[in-house]
Structure 1
Amino acid sequence: MGRYILRNRDRPELKGFVKGATSAASGAIAGAALILGQGSIFDLPTAIIGAVSLAILWRFKIPEPLLLTAAAIAGVFLYAG
């Protein structure tokens, strides 16, 4: 399949297919993020963690696993015991 795409990458039909598939994948990811956010942001501290995480990713482009670890540690301190 990869060879076919490379060989025909300049064809308008293939470009249209790739644009449509990319749009569909972006929509699916955004929908999943919305559903996950609705289930996990339920009070002020989690809303703050979510907003700060989004701002950090948008502005600084740090690796997601690092941000996830920091948010998990914040959650432990906020909700433990």
Structure 2
Amino acid sequence: MEYLVAGLPGACVAALGTFLPCYLFTIIPAPYFKKYGKRPGIVAFVDGITAAAVGAITGSVIVIAQRSITDLPTALLAIGTTALLWKFKKLQEPVIVIAAAAIGLALYPLMHH
């Protein structure tokens, strides 16, 4: 969507805004988590946060899928991405986003001539 609003720079800023906080909130507290991560209160907190994150991500995926999967090419891209994630469980998110963006940029001119 950001690509449609502000072109490639808008899409890049949106991707940065999406992934940078996740990495910062993972990297910065990592040393403290290694030190205190075995405490029962911390374990319970992490379990609760994990459950909340899974719920939020699932809801987001449903909303985005309803708005993004609008025709056969987008459906095929969604199915292909799901199949790749199913087969390669350790596939990094930035790789998926970059590959999907490249495919979208390649297919967009062909579909809207």
TM range (shorter): 0.7 to 0.9
Matched, 1:74 2:107: yes
**Other-structure match for 1:30:** 58
Q: CA deviation at 1:72?
A: 3.2
Whichever of the two has the greater Rg, that structure is 1
1:45 alignment partner, one of 73, 80, 90: 73
- Of structures 1 and 2, the one scoring higher in RCO (CA 8 A, sep 6+) is 1
From the superposition, tell whether residues 38 and 26 of structure 1 become closer, same or farther in structure 2 (CA, over 3 Å).
Answer: same
The RMSD of aligned alpha carbons is: 2.4
Q: CA deviation at 1:30?
A: 1.6
Superposition TM-score, scaled by structure 1 size: 0.74
Kindly provide the amino acid, as one letter, of the partner of residue 68 in structure 1.
A
Gaps of 5+ in 1: none
Query: 1:80 & 1:71 partners in 2: Cα distance?
Result: 12
Aligned length: 80
Q: CA deviation at 1:8?
A: 2.7
Query: 1:32 & 1:44 partners in 2: Cα distance?
Result: 21
Gaps of 5+ in 2: 1-27
Corresponding residue SS for 2:77: helix
From the superposition, tell whether residues 54 and 71 of structure 1 become closer, same or farther in structure 2 (CA, over 3 Å).
Answer: farther
Query: 2:87 & 2:32 partners in 1: Cα distance?
Result: 38
**Other-structure match for 1:18:** 46
